[in-house]
């Protein structure tokens, strides 16, 4: 096997090991994918300042995110269907995050349930909530997240309806309902994936199955979600959620200064500057391009996190320099998971940590608290 040196290597391996319809599901963005591409390419437009002959000893990447100690400011983002990249994917990723010392966020749309993840972890994880029309179901999720001792609720605000991913439709992932011969072929040529999948009974949406009516498979989930995502969702509902939850609240999917100001008013603990990894509004700015403006507007009132396009430790450091208190990775850990299971998620975290540490040192800094705009040589945003 070729050496795994960077996140791109995990992506190459995941492409070889995960059936095409699920690899494409993770790897694609909405419509023309212009925002998905911008998330990555805008990081490359930021140039760092090389500093020399400063004491680079005794470095640490440790910091906090919403008051929780983290080994580095990189949480695993909530991603739906993670258990389809690898059998028991959410449980494996949560364990890898716990061992590494960073937060894991479980999606409402996960394959493994809140209870599954709680059963294999001791560190409290974060739970991501989609506010469905069925508010009883929302309450059910909140109560289960409390019972599992989740330490933060991540409320996703940028998915009141679904942006279209062409690849999912071409792969017949979204609809129609049945497993086609093409799907079966795609799975049959990935024997390792099939073997692992046969070892688990977790192959459905276990946060929803048995808790929401008539959701039994991928397709019924799709039609259920299409009608359950609430187009009327508003800031008033955020207040309601905050009250029901009563714990730390992170609002995810903020890309505009005005929305950031609204979010800060709700008394949430943090916002995530995010465009859902380029999966929703195609044509929107990249997250990193919007980060400095949002930090300037609300950074003194609320913790600002960001995600979208992070593929290296250098990217994380650039986000921190531009004012993010923390970041999240989605695809990098999914590639790791698809490539090598839990070991691959650990590998993704190790790669990013190592890159971040060396980059911080070469910028002349020894700890994250000292990383600020002074390490940026050029930034177009």
Closer residue to ligand FMN in complex, CB, 80/83? 80
Report helix, strand or coil for 69: strand
SS3 172: coil
Closest-CA residue to 309 (of 344, 342, 285): 285
DSSP code string of 283-330: TPPPHHHHHHHHHHHHTTTSEEEEESS--SHHHHHHHHHTT-SEEEES
3-class DSSP state of 129: strand
What's the closest the beta carbon of residue 107 comes to ligand FMN, in angstroms? 3
User: Phi-psi region for residue 215, left (φ > 0), alpha (ψ -120 to 50) or beta?
Assistant: beta
Taking the mean position of all CA atoms in its chain, how far away is CA 70? Answer: 16
The helix (run of H) or strand (run of E) holding residue 271 is strand 270-273
CB of residue 37 vs ligand FMN: minimum separation in angstroms? 11
Answer yes or no: 300 catalytic.
no
| Min dist. Cβ of residue 55 to ligand FMN (A) | 33
- What backbone phi and psi angles, to 5 degrees, belong to 33? 65, 25
Q: Which is nearer to ligand FMN, 169 or 377 (CB)?
A: 169
Measured from the CB atom, the residue of 60 and 164 that comes closer to ligand FMN is: 164
Q: CB nearer to ligand FMN: give 73 or 309.
A: 309
Rounded distance between C-alpha atoms, residue 35 and residue 42, angstroms: 10
Q: Min. distance of Cβ 56 from ligand FMN in angstroms?
A: 29
Is the distance from CB of 211 to CB of 108 less than 8 angstroms? no
Question: Whole-number minimum distance, CB 159 to ligand FMN, in Å?
Answer: 7
3-state SS, residue 192? helix
Residue among 222, 276, 285, 305 flagged as catalytic: 276
Structure token digits, residue 111:
């394959």
> Which residues make up the interface to ligand FMN (CB under 6 A)?
25-26, 39, 77-80, 107, 109, 128, 156, 252, 274, 276-277, 279, 307-310, 329-331
Instruction: Report yes or no: 112 and 90 within 8 Å, Cβ to Cβ.
Output: yes
- Cα–Cα dist 345/275, whole Å: 23
* Helix, strand and coil percent figures for the chain, each rounded to 5: 45, 15, 40
Cα separation of 323 and 365, whole Å?
Answer: 16
Minimal distance, residue 83 CB to ligand FMN, in Å: 12
Q: Which is nearer to ligand FMN, 17 or 276 (CB)?
A: 276
Give me the residue whose beta carbon is nearest to ligand FMN: 330
Q: Kindly tell me which of 251 and 365 has the beta carbon lying closer to ligand FMN.
A: 251
Phi, psi of 155 (to 5 degrees): -95, 115
With respect to ligand FMN, which residue has the nearer C-beta, 116 or 365?
Answer: 116
Q: Least Å distance between CB 80 and ligand FMN?
A: 4
The residues annotated with a catalytic role in the active site are 276
């Amino acid at each position: 096997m070729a050496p795994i040196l960077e996140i791109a290597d995990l992506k190459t391996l995941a492409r070889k090991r995960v059936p095409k319809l699920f690899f494409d599901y993770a790897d694609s963005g909405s419509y023309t994918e212009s925002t998905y591409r911008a998330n990555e390419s805008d990081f490359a437009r930021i140039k760092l300042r090389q500093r020399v002959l400063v004491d680079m000893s005794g470095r640490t990447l440790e910091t906090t995110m919403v008051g929780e100690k983290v080994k580095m400011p990189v949480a695993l983002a909530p991603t739906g269907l993670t258990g389809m990249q690898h059998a028991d994917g959410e449980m494996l990723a949560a364990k890898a995050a716990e061992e590494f010392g960073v937060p894991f966020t479980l999606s409402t749309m996960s394959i493994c349930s809140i209870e599954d993840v709680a059963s294999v972890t001791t560190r409290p994880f974060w739970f991501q909530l989609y506010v469905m029309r069925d508010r009883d179901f929302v309450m059910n999720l909140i109560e289960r997240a409390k019972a599992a001792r989740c330490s933060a609720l991540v409320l996703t605000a940028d998915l009141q309806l679904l942006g279209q991913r062409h690849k999912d439709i071409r792969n017949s992932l979204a609809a129609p309902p049945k497993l086609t011969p093409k799907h079966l072929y795609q799975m049959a040529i990935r024997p390792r994936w099939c073997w692992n999948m046969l070892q688990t009974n977790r192959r459905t949406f276990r946060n929803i199955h048995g808790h929401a009516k008539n959701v039994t498979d991928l397709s019924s989930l799709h039609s259920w979600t299409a009608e359950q995502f609430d187009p009327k969702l508003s800031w008033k509902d955020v207040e309601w959620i905050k009250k029901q939850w009563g714990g730390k609240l992170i609002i995810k999917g903020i890309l505009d200064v005005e929305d950031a100001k609204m979010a800060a008013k709700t008394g949430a603990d943090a916002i995530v500057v995010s465009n859902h990894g380029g999966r929703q509004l195609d044509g929107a700015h990249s997250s990193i391009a919007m980060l400095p403006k949002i930090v300037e507007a609300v950074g003194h009132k609320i913790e600002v996190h960001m995600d979208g396009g992070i593929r290296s430790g250098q990217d994380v450091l650039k986000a921190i320099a531009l004012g993010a208190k923390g970041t999240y990775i989605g695809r990098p850990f999914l590639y790791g998971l698809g490539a090598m299971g839990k070991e691959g998620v650990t590998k993704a975290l190790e790669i990013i940590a190592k890159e971040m540490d060396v980059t911080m040192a070469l910028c002349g800094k020894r700890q994250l608290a000292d990383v600020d705009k002074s390490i940026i040589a050029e930034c177009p945003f």
